[in-house]
């Protein structure tokens, strides 16, 4: 397993060094002439560059979407905090009203008892 990875790594180094010796980079392109391995490598480099551009664009879109989601989450969290406070206020008022009703009921019952 390790030798397999090492083999790929050495091949990558060899191909990378071939780029510098076989082709002359001009405007991010290789001039290979008739060397087929250089042409294939140039195509590979071009494809990798295109993929990197797409990934960069996708990453920027993800960052934008994430920022929108975070802003939306912050807004929702603020609204939830307000609703929670309102609920607690209503709950407290309801309990106070319930206690008041019980006291009134007890007062009426005690007046009838006399």
From first to last of its 114 residues, the chain has per-residue pLDDT tens of 556 666 666 666 766 655 444 444 444 456 777 778 888 888 899 999 999 999 999 999 999 999 999 999 999 999 999 999 999 999 999 999 888 888 878 877 777 766
* Residue 10 maps to a domain: no
The answer to whether residue 2 sits within a structural domain is no
For residue 81, being part of any structural domain is answered with yes
Asked if residue 5 is part of any domain, the answer here is no
Q: Is residue 4 part of a domain?
A: no
- For residue 1, tell me if it sits in a domain: no
Q: How confident is the model at residue 24, as a pLDDT?
A: 45
Q: Looking at the domain assignment, is residue 53 inside a domain?
A: yes
pLDDT at residue 5, as a whole number = 67
**Which residues, including other chains, have CB under 8 Å from residue 15's CB and lie 6 or more apart?**
41
Nearest to 32 by CA among 20, 47, 14, 17: 20
What was the pLDDT predicted at 23? 45
Which contacts qualify for 3-7: CB closer than 8 Å, 24 or more apart? none
Q: Number of structural domains, the chain?
A: 1
Domain assignment present for 8 = no
Rounded (to 5) percent helix, strand, coil in the chain? 85, 5, 10
Query: Which residue segment(s) compose the domain that 64 sits in?
Result: 15-113
């Amino acid at each position: 397993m390790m030798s397999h990875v090492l083999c790929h790594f050495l091949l990558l180094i060899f191909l990378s060094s071939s780029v510098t010796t076989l082709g002359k980079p001009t405007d991010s392109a290789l001039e290979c002439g008739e060397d087929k391995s250089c042409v294939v490598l140039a195509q590979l480099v071009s494809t990798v560059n295109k993929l990197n551009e797409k990934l960069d664009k996708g990453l920027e879109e993800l960052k934008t979407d994430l920022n929108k989601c975070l802003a939306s989450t912050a807004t929702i969290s603020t609204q939830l905090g307000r609703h929670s406070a309102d609920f607690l206020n209503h709950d407290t008022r309801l309990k106070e009203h319930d206690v008041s009703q019980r006291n009134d009921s007890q007062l009426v019952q005690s007046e009838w008892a006399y």
